[in-house]
Amino acid sequence: MSQISLTVNLPGPGTLALVGSGEYLPGMQEVDRWLLQQLAEPARVITLATAAGTEGAGRLRYWDGLGAQHFTSLGVENVQALPVIDRKSAEDNRLADLIQQANFVYLSGGKPGYLYQTLLNTPVWSAICEVLQRGGVVAGCSAGAMIFGEQIPGIRNILQLGPGFDFLPGVFIIPHFDEIPELIRTGLRSLHHQIKMVGVEGFTALVCTSQGCRVRGRGQVSISDGDSFLHYRQEE
């Protein structure tokens, strides 16, 4: 199989996992167990429902509880959900200090543009980057994955691309890729042919380190450079 290379620009030797969908559900246990095994020390997990910050207190409680239950079921004794839900809380040095003490940070789904704007140039974002700098794990699902590309496609207007954090230069990331009709996939590829599209299916992670990327999970990752798709699975 011919290869389409992905440039990875991480701030350190850590592991970045970009998940298509299914955060905290049983179908992600195998992937997250593997990610926990990449840590050199006992896991200290922080979950952030920041991308759902506009969805109300009930929805935030749902994500916080689901994340705690998931990681506890995997044997993690130290897991904490932090209320980083808006710009004010992302600028809270106390919350950033707690993230700095973690070695595994998980960003769950919601609105990618809101997540990016909330975290940009904040102490919380700096703390997340420090986790990677120290060799820890940062995982993002759906919106939490999309922010790590160079560009973020608009949810309501797919013609529009906004800035991302550029950990994968020259790329925009489409989660839930197995749920997207073929016509929309082809349209996205044609509209944004100047930049690579990376589609990540549900219960699947594109796992990136400074050495490159691999696939973990039961689905596939599809990469397009504007002409065609190449598909990758865990065993490949």
Does any domain span residue 2?
no
For 103-118, give one letter per residue: b (16+ CB within 10 A) or e: bbbbbbbbbbbbbbeb
Whole-angstrom CA distances from 12 to 106, 109, 167, 209, 213 are 17, 24, 11, 9, 15
pLDDT at residue 96, as a whole number: 98
Q: How confident is the model at residue 156, as a pLDDT?
A: 66
> Does 25 fall in a domain?
yes
Q: Please report whether residue 161 resides in a domain.
A: yes
Give the CATH number of the domain where residue 64 resides: 3.40.50.880
Q: Which of 122, 50, 127 is nearest to 96 (CA)?
A: 127
The helix/strand/coil state of 137 is strand
In a domain, 41, yes or no: yes
In-domain check, residue 105: yes
CA proximity to 149, closest of 131, 138, 161: 161
* Residues 6 or more apart whose Cβ sits within 8 Å of residue 231: 220, 221, 222
- Please state the φ and ψ torsions of residue 195, each to the nearest 5 degrees: -140, 145
* Total number of domains constituting the chain: 1
In a domain, 4, yes or no: no
Segments forming the whole domain that contains residue 136: 15-229
Helices (H), 101-177: 112-119, 123-133, 143-146
Residue 182 lies in a domain: yes
Provide the pLDDT for residue 193: 73
Structure tokens at 13: 């030797």
Question: In degrees, to the nearest 5, what angle opens at C-alpha 113 toward C-alphas 70 and 191?
Answer: 110
Question: Global pTM?
Answer: 0.95
Residue 9 placed within a domain: no
Residue whose structure tokens are 């590309």 = 149
For each of the chain's 236 residues, which pLDDT tens digit applies? Answer: 344 479 999 999 999 999 999 999 999 999 999 999 999 999 999 999 999 999 999 999 999 999 999 999 999 999 999 999 999 999 999 999 999 999 999 999 999 999 999 999 999 999 999 999 999 999 999 999 999 999 998 766 666 789 999 999 999 999 999 998 888 777 777 777 778 999 999 999 999 999 899 999 999 999 987 667 889 999 76
Strand, helix or coil for residue 123: helix
pLDDT of residue 5: 73
Quickly count: other Cβ atoms within 10 Å of residue 156's Cβ. Answer: 6
